[in-house]
Copies of this chain bind each other. A is one copy, B any other.
Amino acid sequence: MKSRTNNPEAMRGRVLDVAAEAFQSRGYHSTSTHDIVREAGITGGALHHHFPTKKSIALAVIRERVAQAVEDAWIDPVQSARTAAEGIQAAFANITNELDERGRVRGCPLNNLALELSAVDPDFQSAVQNVFDGWRAAITEKLRTDKSAGLTAIADPEETATFVVAAYSGAMALAKASQTSAPLKSCARQLATILRATGANASRARKR
């Protein structure tokens, strides 16, 4: 008879950690519930107790782990930066650094799951969309309140935020496909130029 440590919170957390990791590395469909059971060192029964279906695991991963990852990697840096442009650059820089250290590009956890699951099920779709919305909202807000030179002139902060998220998402997709951080670096530079240029234009416009 094996010993057992009743600690539901810890077990739930371990499951989510393992599942988040597996979903990002191998994808949702390529990860079996048995993989999670094995890697988390638990039993099928325990998994079922906390998550009755595989779908419920994925939803929890999106809501509790992926959303957190987006917050850590994007929302916090952007909010705490001096300007929106700096926040965006910081986010890119941090992610690129991590990538170069790791050596392998697993892609953006949100985009990976978004592409794989959005078409599968409306529950997945809306869960994913919520995270995207929070992400865009944070950037939008920063763009709106950014009092740095000229950026106030940005016509549509929401659209710009969408654009930033899209550029990053696509850059990460290219990075994953090429297994290089180069596309991310390129896009970071392009975005930097654009945001500066926009500001410059705007300030120039105002000066006249």
Q: Which residues of A contact B (CB under 8 A)?
A: 25-27, 29-30, 106-107, 111-112, 114-116, 118-120, 125, 128-129, 132, 156, 159-160, 162-163, 165-171, 173-174, 176-179, 183, 186-187, 189-191, 194, 197-198, 201
Please report whether the interface of chain A is mostly helix, strand, loop or mixed according to DSSP: helix
Q: Is the beta-carbon distance between A159 and B107 smaller than 8 angstroms?
A: no
Tell me the complex Cα distance, A189–B116, Å.
27
Residue in B29, B183, B197 whose CB lies within 8 Å of A30: B29
Given contacts A125-B177, A197-B201, whether A160 and B190 have CB atoms under 8 Å apart is yes
Tell me the complex Cα distance, A111–B174, Å.
9
A-B contact pairs, 13 of them (CB 8 A): A29-B116, A30-B120, A115-B116, A115-B173, A116-B116, A156-B186, A159-B186, A166-B167, A166-B170, A167-B170, A169-B170, A170-B171, A197-B201
Of A29, A125, A159, most buried by chain B (CB within 10 Å of CB) is: A159
Q: Distance (Å) between the CB of A134 and the closest chain B CB?
A: 12
- Return chain B residues, CB-CB under 8 Å to A159: 186, 189-190
- Return chain B residues, CB-CB under 8 Å to A107: 115, 118-119
Tell me the complex Cα distance, A114–B177, Å.
6
Given contacts A29-B27, A163-B187, whether A118 and B171 have CB atoms under 8 Å apart is no
Across the interface, name the chain B residue whose C-beta is closest to A167: B167
Q: Distance (Å) between the CB of A206 and the closest chain B CB?
A: 16
Tell me the complex Cα distance, A55–B201, Å.
50
Across the interface, name the chain B residue whose C-beta is closest to A127: B177
Given contacts A29-B27, A29-B30, A194-B194, whether A118 and B163 have CB atoms under 8 Å apart is no
Residue in B30, B129, B179 whose CB lies within 8 Å of A177: B129
- Return chain B residues, CB-CB under 8 Å to A171: 162-163, 166, 170
